[in-house]
A and B are shown apart, each in its own frame.
Chain A
């Protein structure tokens, strides 16, 4: 506890970097997964290849992906962008399936009703199908957020500073305090992101709140 209080500023700084490295891929990944998921539902022939490709991507261990990224991107190995791109790939891989499943969970009657009301395909997607898919997408996003936080810490092994650096520092000095503080900080960060997504999903789906009469 004293170690934590003495190093409050350092832990805080690492926490901010950690949050940045975990959240940016989440946002970018979601932005990429929505059109890909739409493609997978709109063109059924694309569903299997897209899902298989993302499954294969997800198979690659994180440390391996972090190490290979510089080769693909042509950046220095210490560039945090490698971690961001690698995590974005994981996020997309996880979310494409969720988005596709969420979109196909929209009842066909609803789609037809919207069409019958004269709503065009683009507006129907943005204002009807996507909002109705939010609960399913949010569930996937929560998994992605929490696993991103855990995976980011692995990047400490290739020398990218974030909360995981507390693990490597503590281990090198045979000193438990920083490791425990790092673990707790990671769990707290994961919890905050998780709650934030739940709150956000709740805010954009007002019709799911309140009485479930009828």
Chain B
């Protein structure tokens, strides 16, 4: 414990390009770039699959299949295969981001798809009956109703990206993972443990930010009533969502 405190309270560790703030910033930039690219791919695709009902089988299998691919191996393959084709500092960053995107798309896609798929058919029918076009139904009814699950997908993607970006330090990219990998190389456990604490704190902070954005973005009408196990005295629970 003292080792961590000693590392974190040393002013030298908070300055320069290898300092903690610079590493946090790098980590956040990787995460943000990855999520933007992955959301640009996953959200429209997921909405389309949910809206049309086409390709559901592919989505489910893609998500389950990707979970079994070891991220560390994928990262190394990407860097070894793509790295030599890219010049300069980007030789490590571009393949890493690519792998992060590959990992982040399935949960986002699944969240968007599941969100649209779970929309109450009555709401969809009502919108159609009111004369809304297919596009209006998608953006005016299905998308807002899908937001809670869509955010769920985004949040699990974000956590996965923060975690994998840490591992990516093994292929010479920046970010907080550097503290862990470099600490390991020189047997400096204090630095490793401090890095681990910072990464965990960063992951929690990122998740918290998403939770707050979700709270603002999602219509209050959609926030589920606090989940309660079945009341023993009144076994048939009231169902507010018809």
With known contacts A77-B189, A108-B230, A179-B76, A63–B163 Cβ distance under 8 A: yes
* Distance A195 CA – B184 CA, assembled complex (angstroms): 37
With known contacts A67-B180, A182-B70, A167–B76 Cβ distance under 8 A: yes
Q: Which residues of A contact B197 (CB under 8 A)?
A: 64, 68
With known contacts A167-B76, A170-B76, A174-B80, A150–B67 Cβ distance under 8 A: yes
Min distance, Cβ A197 to any Cβ of chain B, angstroms: 13
With known contacts A44-B229, A104-B230, A60–B184 Cβ distance under 8 A: no
- Inter-subunit contact B167/A64 (CB<8 Å): no
Min distance, Cβ B188 to any Cβ of chain A, angstroms: 12
* Distance A163 CA – B72 CA, assembled complex (angstroms): 11
- Inter-subunit contact A150/B69 (CB<8 Å): yes
Main secondary structure of the interface of B (DSSP, over half): helix
The size of the chain B interface, using a CB distance under 8 A, is: 45
Q: Which residues of B contact A180 (CB under 8 A)?
A: 73, 77
Q: Which residues of A contact B166 (CB under 8 A)?
A: 61, 63-64
* Distance A104 CA – B72 CA, assembled complex (angstroms): 37
The digit string for A20-48, where 1 denotes a CB below 8 A from any CB of B, is 00000000000000000000010010011
* Distance A71 CA – B1 CA, assembled complex (angstroms): 7
Q: Does A146 touch B at the CB level, under 8 Å? A: yes
The interface of chain A, by Cβ under 8 A from chain B, is: 41, 44, 47-48, 56, 58-65, 67-68, 70-71, 77, 104, 108-109, 112, 143, 146-147, 149-150, 153-154, 156-159, 163-164, 166-168, 170-171, 174, 176, 179-180, 182-183, 186-187, 190-191, 194
The 9 lowest CB-CB distance pairs between A and B, nearest first, are: A61-B163, A190-B68, A64-B196, A67-B196, A183-B73, A108-B235, A153-B70, A171-B76, A64-B199
